[in-house]
Amino acid sequence: MKADSKVLERINRLREEINYHNYRYYVLDDPEVPDAEYDRLLIELRQLEAEHPETIVPSSPTQRVGGMANAAFSQVRHRQPMLSLGNAFSDEEVISFDKRIRERLQTDSVEYVAEAKLDGLAISLQYEKGELVVAATRGDGETGEDVTHNVRTIDAIPLLLRGSGFPNRLEVRGEIFMSKQGFARLNKRQAENGEKLFANPRNAAAGSLRQLDPKITAQRPLSFYCYSVGVAEYGELSQGPYRISSHYQIMQLLRDWGLPVQREIALLPDIRSCLDFYRQILSKRDELPHEIDGVVYKVNNLLQQQQLGYISREPRWAIAHKFPAQEALTRVMAIDVQVGRTGALTPVARLEPVQVGGVTVTNATLHNESEVLRKDVRVGDSVIVRRAGDVIPEVVSVVLSKRPKDTTAFVMPSKCPVCQSTVTKEETISRCSGSLICHAQRKEGFKHFASRQAMDIEGLGEKLIEQLIERGKVRTVADLYRLDRDDLIGLERMAEKSADNILAALEKSKQTTLPRFLYALGIREVGVATALALAKHFGSLPAIMSADFDALIEVPDVGPIVANHVLDFFAEKRHQVIIQQLIDAGLTWPDMVLDSDDGESPLSGNTYVLTGTLKSMTREQAKQQLQALGAKVSGSVSAKTTAVIAGDKAGSKLSKAEQLGVKVLNEAELVALLTSHSA
């Protein structure tokens, strides 16, 4: 059915709204509506156009992915060549550039426009009567490839210009690029699909734009900023209705017409201001959402640009001030394996020193074994190394043509290079299993052991642990219980009273529970819930330590991976020694009430909620004891709650319990409950 006037009016209104929101999002960087509302408008427009196909026009926002896959790209000859820029690599070269310009123009001062140099793909966009008709790559500067179908998929590029007064024929030039975040997402998707990864955002943008099928391009996170005008139908813009006399005015005008212009652009009075701008942009380079590789300086006055003209294939009135290289070629001297504070093993390439981004680089991360094997990095290889700001340098790729004949593939060690414990594999991460004995993991291991849900040693924080380790007072957690006042006094902020408080906290922590002790040991992937499940299932520590794989996987919350972690931990004889030392130091706990054959514990099926402050124990201790008896402890009250246990200053949970008619127990009743079922 042919669309009536109301439908046509609605379709046109939707197109205007969607184009407006694209302008707010891509040009002004100030969206007015959430994504869901934008999607709703687009869905409605698609539906109306599907019902009335005669209303579809090429410039409709729904037509961004259109046309058949191209067998090849046709050639487009640029009406005005797309020239390259000369490069400057130092302040002195930039000052010389300015001197040449002032001498040629016979003036003492020149106004410049400075803008960040995007690391993307140059593009020419031709608009006729405000509608995008042709998009072409730079190519050799004279002739490029027609990529119109693919460019139409990029939301940042308007299919229709905004406002009025633009030339009947207008060529806009700019850069297509991919954001850092978009690049990371794309490579993650490529890896998940088993496809080749892109080396950097620029390569990813170029590869995405040259897809034969526009639907593939549409799936890639491409964006766009314009940086100049090539041709306007009425000649130079200075002859048009706007009487434009400067490059900066052109950029403002393009922005008004709906074309995105980057925010890193400034009108500056002289070349010294340009150098200040360069240093400012360089300092925040890594904070920008997209890659840049320098700053471009352009003479602002259009008449002065004409007077300066061109030399060879470069304009005399513009220059690119390049940033220090972030990639360099060097050689791998060795591949070492570092052990992190959580036991993760990371291969690190030791490099022949090379300057990257203004810094001498001698090491580069190889991330993990899978990454080393994927890139096939070997000792003796020539490699490309990349550094971005303060990020640890990484090996990007190997130059295979330079590989020596006698290289061998990297193999991750089976024993920890620090403590010789067995190395376990968790997906792509190799990890040392010696959490209690590995010096590389000591600090994190001590922090975990002393934490609230583990041994709950009050006052033993990170700073004190660091001092104890650095001064050689402790090597394993068992050494904590050998400390005396003399060991502690003299440490930073540690007087006699503070030392006595720490010793008292250590003494108090000796009275614990089996689940807490298991959790404190730091067995890989054995959290609070798993430690409780193991304790309830086996009842005692010797039973857990002697359990085999088949027995372990019968425990709720324990699968094959966790079972192997438990087996590896207790198989390590040095772990057994430390556990015995802890027991000899006086750590003790009652054996657990074993789960009965039918799976029922004394409080199985009951749910309790704790609120307020308890005097005889902490709420965490009460929770642990209730869970040990099979109860669930919830953080919210419902009609299914068995009882709310209310201490002093109980809050809204007590009020809700009273509203719902849920039973309320005081602290004395809690103690009686625990005592009666633990006997």
Record the tokens describing residue 184, joined without a space: 């990371």
Q: Is 138 a member of any domain?
A: yes
Q: Is 601 a member of any domain?
A: no
What is the residue-wise DSSP string for 474-503? Answer: -SSGGGGGG--HHHHBTBTT--HHHHHHHH
Of 322, 346, 365, which residue is a domain's last?
Answer: 322
Whether 298 and 355 map to the same domain: the answer is: no
- CATH, residue 514: 1.10.150.20
- CATH, residue 614: 3.40.50.10190
* Total structural domains within the chain: 5
Is residue 223 helix, strand or coil? Answer: strand
Nearest to 140 by CA among 75, 201, 206, 73: 75
Angle made by CA atoms 109, 110, 116, in degrees to the nearest 5: 140
Q: Is 243 a member of any domain?
A: yes
Whether 53 and 91 map to the same domain: the answer is: no
Q: Is 425 a member of any domain?
A: no
Note the pLDDT of residue 197.
78
Strands 632-634 and 607-611, by their bridges, are parallel
Tell me if residue 510 is catalytic: no
Give the model confidence (pLDDT) of 364-379 as tens digits: 988 888 889 889 999 9
Bridge partners of 115, per DSSP, are 265, 296
Of 296, 322, 348, which residue is a domain's last?
Answer: 322
Whether 437 and 315 map to the same domain: the answer is: no
Residue in the structure block whose two tokens are 């050494």? 479
Amino acid, res. 446: F
Residue 458, C-beta contacts closer than 8 angstroms, at least 6 positions apart: 501, 505, 508
- Rounded Cα distance between 168 and 165, Å, is 9
Whether 317 and 351 map to the same domain: the answer is: no
Side-chain-side CA neighbours of 335 within 13 Å: the count stands at 26
Q: Is 546 a member of any domain?
A: yes
Note the pLDDT of residue 69.
42
Low-confidence ranges of the chain (pLDDT < 70): 1, 25-31, 33-36, 39, 64-72, 233-242, 312, 325, 357-358, 388-391, 593-600, 678-679
Q: Are 458 and 549 in contact (CB under 8 A)?
A: no
Whether 584 and 497 map to the same domain: the answer is: yes
* Helical residues (DSSP H) of 585-664, grouped into ranges: 619-628, 652-660
- CATH, residue 306: 3.30.470.30
Whether 475 and 569 map to the same domain: the answer is: yes
Whether 338 and 366 map to the same domain: the answer is: yes
- Rounded Cα distance between 620 and 210, Å, is 60
Q: Is 617 a member of any domain?
A: yes
Strands 112-118 and 292-299, by their bridges, are antiparallel
Of 592, 618, 639, which residue is a domain's last?
Answer: 592
**Could you list the residue range(s) of the whole structural domain that residue 621 is in?**
607-678
Q: Spell 628-653 as b/e; 16+ CB within 10 A means b.
A: bbbbebbeebeeebbbbbbbeebeeb
- CATH, residue 376: 2.40.50.140
Whether 503 and 632 map to the same domain: the answer is: no
Q: Is 154 a member of any domain?
A: yes
Whether 447 and 586 map to the same domain: the answer is: yes
Which pTM value belongs to this model? 0.50
Q: Are 337 and 413 in contact (CB under 8 A)?
A: yes
Catalytic residue among 99, 117, 129, 656: 117
Residue in the structure block whose two tokens are 């360069």? 278
Whether 262 and 334 map to the same domain: the answer is: no
- CATH, residue 52: 1.10.287.610
Q: Is 134 a member of any domain?
A: yes
Whether 170 and 277 map to the same domain: the answer is: yes
Whether 209 and 277 map to the same domain: the answer is: yes
Axis crossing angle, helix 667-678 with helix 619-628, rounded to the nearest 10 = 30
Bridge partners of 608, per DSSP, are 633, 643
Q: How many residues does the chain have?
A: 679
Record the tokens describing residue 653, joined without a space: 């949970």
- Rounded Cα distance between 599 and 209, Å, is 61
